[in-house]
Structure 1
Amino acid sequence: MAQMGRPRTFDRSVAIIQAMHVFWEHGYDATSLSQLKANIGGGITAPSFYAAFGSKQALFNEVMELYLNTHGRVTDSLFDTTLPPRESIELTLRRSAKMQCEPGHPAGCLVALGLLSACTVESKAISQPLAEARSLNRAGMVACVERAIASRELSPTVVPEALATVFDSFLLGISVLARDGVPLKQIDDAVTQVMTLWDASSCAARKSPAR
């Protein structure tokens, strides 16, 4: 008769959060199995790790699902069509800045910092969901700009992809600022400044003659 394995001595849901913080702090490639084992459940063995999570890649996939359903929801306003388009983008930038600077987890954004370069087959597989999440946010911003153009809040001469890229670049850049310890107040003030680009195009829309 096969001998039963030892019962798990750690809370798996808590372990996923602990692993998320390790990946968030170091990125996927730089995070070693040793780091994960040491930071999960107060320290676990390799057999316990593989029995619980299967592999580093499988664990990261679970981590990403958790992140996108919790911290990553700061971008939800991009897809809320009940909000004015400008407010949708501004809320996303301010909420993301607040989340990335708050205590209790590593600074920055896991979607932006988790893995940018894909050099191996494994890292390419890992980078895909991160790239998809970033692409989804860009598409949300484009949709906001398109809604504003359709409602004549923005000038019809505005190129949706171009203006959306400005805000998306700012959103991704928040991660570096947060990691460098730039105060939230400074980043929040910068959000106010970057939104004047929207207002400049909005002024042009108001000045343009009605069709």
Structure 2
Amino acid sequence: MARTGRPRQFDRDDVLEAALRLFWEHGYAATSLAQLREAMRMSSASFYAAFSSKEQLFDAVVERYASSFGRVTDAIADDELPPREAVERILRQSAQMQTDASHPSGCLLVSGATCSPANVTVHELLTGRRNLVRANVVACVERAKSLGELPSGTDAQALASVFVSFLWGLSTEARDGVPAGRLDAAVGYLMGVWDATAVAHTGSITPQSTSVT
């Protein structure tokens, strides 16, 4: 009787973590299949049996990132938090996470995008994830308007872009070696934009939050 094939000898969490760090460090296009298989310690047959393709692996990696390191932006979707606090929290926590020396610097949703424009699947995957964060920031600004914390005439899309542009820009700053403390201080200045918008409506400035430690 013919013997059945042996079960795949790998731990899915371990191989995804190895792939995550490679993609995070080098981006999608610059990370080769050979690098991935070596880091994941998988044969070609095992790799394709488990993930079908590099694109499918990247999809799984992005999901893993979103449920771990990427959770620094979860606060923006928490309706229990005051809107200003939610925005400030994701910026400060992102600055801390992206400069943490225990893993590649920056943000995978930004650094992973260094791929060929022809790769529509990867482009749409990352754009979709970033659009979700963007939509949550817009919703947070709209919530602040409905609560009377910001003027009703505030352009939510434009104000949200101020914070989202900074959020994605943190990735470049972190990868260039800008220290966490400087980025955290920059968040304080940026939140002055929110305060200036609010004071035009309420006549008072929201108390400045403390830095994330």
Residue 148 of structure 2 aligns with which residue? 152
1:48-102, Cα deviation, whole Å (9 max, x unpaired): 2222322111111111111111111111111111111000100000111111111
Q: For the residues of structure 2 that align with 1:105 and 1:55, how far apart are their CA atoms?
A: 25
RMSD: 1.6
Gaps of 5+ in 2: 205-213
Q: For the residues of structure 2 that align with 1:84 and 1:196, how far apart are their CA atoms?
A: 16
Q: For the residues of structure 2 that align with 1:116 and 1:24, how far apart are their CA atoms?
A: 10
1:21 alignment partner AA? R
Residue 178 of structure 2 aligns with which residue? 182
Residue 8 of structure 2 aligns with which residue? 8
Residue 108 of structure 1 aligns with which residue? 106
Within the alignment, does 1:194 sit opposite 2:183 as a pair? no
TM-fit CA distance, 1:130: 1.0
Q: For the residues of structure 1 that align with 2:51 and 2:140, how far apart are their CA atoms?
A: 39
SS at match of 1:119: coil
1:7-66, Cα deviation, whole Å (9 max, x unpaired): 4333221111110100111111111001101111xx332222222322111111111111
2:78 aligned to 77, 80, 83, which one?
80
Q: For the residues of structure 2 that align with 1:111 and 1:2, how far apart are their CA atoms?
A: 46
Q: For the residues of structure 1 that align with 2:75 and 2:164, how far apart are their CA atoms?
A: 14
- 1:90-109, aligned counterparts within 5 Å? 90-109=88-107
Equivalent pair of 1:74/1:95 in contact (CA under 8 Å) = yes
1:197 alignment partner AA? V
2:13 alignment partner AA? S
Q: For the residues of structure 1 that align with 2:117 and 2:142, how far apart are their CA atoms?
A: 36
Within the alignment, does 1:203 sit opposite 2:196 as a pair? no
Q: For the residues of structure 2 that align with 1:3 and 1:23, how far apart are their CA atoms?
A: 37
**Farther-moved stretch of structure 1 (47-56 vs 82-91):** 47-56
TM-score by length of 1: 0.91
Q: For the residues of structure 1 that align with 2:137 and 2:56, how far apart are their CA atoms?
A: 30
TM-score by length of 2: 0.90
Q: For the residues of structure 2 that align with 1:116 and 1:137, how far apart are their CA atoms?
A: 19
TM-fit CA distance, 1:6: 4.0
SS at match of 1:195: helix
Equivalent pair of 1:74/1:92 in contact (CA under 8 Å) = yes
**Farther-moved stretch of structure 1 (53-62 vs 85-94):** 53-62
Equivalent pair of 2:29/2:115 in contact (CA under 8 Å) = no
The 4+ residue runs of structure 1 with deviation greater than 6 A are none
